[in-house]
Amino acid sequence: MALVEREGVGAVSMRRLAAELGSGTMSLYNHIPNKGALLDAIGDRAMASIEWSPLPDASWQDQIRVQARALRDVARRHPNTFLLIATRRLSSDEAVRPVELALTSLEAAGYQGPTAVRMLRAVLSYLIGTLLREVATTPELGGVALTPFVGVSAELFPRVVALAVELDHQDHDVEFEFGLELLIDALERHPRS
């Protein structure tokens, strides 16, 4: 995990890990069968570090908020590992637990079967998209700051020019919470049947 955070997923290989650990490459195969399994184990380790803490008496909306913020926390603590989590289907208990918790929250809201799964996917799409963008555009997390809208034609793009200051300003905390509340509001309005 330290290697992924330091140099990215592309730096991970069995040979490179063996060098990091000061062991022989072949000896690693006694513990892990291949690079895919190694990447899954790294993702699982990160997922295991998440404090999901379901709130027994909280509303389903608050449950979703807690779960979303917990995933954001791991993305901010381990940005490169989060890229790995977001692009692989992990099937360990640690990786499946948040899916179970989210489906339980949606079921408590009255959503069942395919509707609950679609809602889960909508929430995950929002979270993965916004968190990948946050990680990629936050220099403190290893991302690259977006360049400002400079030299944009006011004649061709009057709205962009008028809102350039707002478009150039990034407050990831505010944007994350705004999007999360917008999504929860949309979920609340969806028919239960």
CA R_g for the chain: 20
Q: Give residue 156's domain range.
A: 2-189
**Residue, of 90 and 63, whose pLDDT is higher:** 63
145: which DSSP letter?
A: P
CA distance 100 to 54: 11
CA distance 40 to 193: 36
Structure confidence at residue 59 (pLDDT):
92
Structure confidence at residue 187 (pLDDT):
94
pLDDT score of 91 more than 90: no
- The CATH number linked to 136 is 1.10.357.10
pLDDT score of 127 more than 80: yes
Percent of the chain with pLDDT over 70: 99
Q: What average pLDDT is seen over the chain?
A: 91
Domain count, the chain: 1
